[in-house]
Amino acid sequence: MTSPIDGDLYQRVQDLYQNYGHAIDVDDLEAWPEFFTADARYCVIPRENHDRGLPAALIDCRGRPMLLDRVVALRTANIYNIHFDRHLVSPAVITGRDGDVLESRVNFTVMQTDQSGVTRLFAAGVSYDRIRVEEQRLRFLDRRLVLDTYGVPELLATPL
């Protein structure tokens, strides 16, 4: 089976995922909405809902303004456990291509560490994504993160 994309483009996809996770892990939340197109959808849905065709999501941002609001709320309004994150993202599997839009899938885990330096598995799952290839950079058009860890440990504040 041949990949629908060449090696250079595949490397750009890999960089997109790694840079995305890193931005959150170093608390550069302000950069997070920039990984998405203006009309993007970002959805974190419990696997039990996804598998049963139930629509309720944990986070469902429709468009970059809602992503920005999530960041502003986390920075100014919300109070949550003091922690830092570590994203571990598998190599991408490119599952399709339609012009300048790629379909891609990755597995993800997010480890969360508290102020005592104790690290716990916080989230595991798979993300079904669509990526728009732009001249300057790749951006997510759609991320649907299906959360295996839907018994959310404590709370879910910072993005996955």
Partner 1 sequence: MQDSDYIFREHDLDRFRWPDADYAHTPYRVFKDSAIYEREMEKVFRGPTWGYLALEAELPEAGSFKSVMLGNTPVVVSREEDGSFSAFVNRCAHRGATVVREEFGKADTHACIYHQWCYSSAGDLVGVPYRRGVSGKGGYPKDFKPAQHGLRKLHVESYKGLIFGSLQNEPGTLMAYLGPHIKEHLDRILVKPLKVLGYHRQRISANWKLYFENIKDPYHAGLLHMFAATFGTYRSTQEGYTLVSDGGGHSIVYSVMGTDDHDSVSEHYKDVKDKYQTDFQLNDGTLLQWTPDFDDGIGNLIISVFPNLVVQQILNTLATRQVRPLGPDGMELVWTFFGFEDDDDTLTDDRLRQLNLVGPAGYISMEDGEAIRLVQQAIQGETDATSFIQMGGLGPIVDADHVVTEVCTRGFWKQYAQTMEFAPREEGAPVPEKAHD
What does the binding site for partner 1 look like in residue numbers (CB under 8 A)? 44-46, 48-49, 52, 54-63, 65-66, 68-69, 72-73, 76-81, 150-157
**Least gap, CB of 157 to partner 1 (angstroms):** 6
- Which long-range CB contacts under 8 A does 92-96 form with residues at least 24 apart? 92/10, 92/13, 92/14, 92/17, 94/3, 94/4, 94/5, 94/10, 94/13, 96/4
Residue 100 host element (H or E): none
* Tokens found for residue 147: 């959360």
Which one, 44 or 89, has the nearer CB to partner 1? 44
Which residue, 67 or 141, has its beta carbon nearer to partner 1?
67
Q: Residue 146 CB, nearest distance to partner 1 (Å)?
A: 13
Structure-token pair, residue 9: 């483009």
Least distance from partner 1 to the Cβ atom of residue 150, Å: 6
Residue number with CB closer to partner 1 (19 or 81) = 81
Pairing status of strand 119-133 against strand 138-147: antiparallel
Q: Which is nearer to partner 1, 100 or 114 (CB)?
A: 114
The two tokens of residue 116 are 């005592």
Minimum distance, C-beta of residue 30 to partner 1, in the bound complex (Å): 13
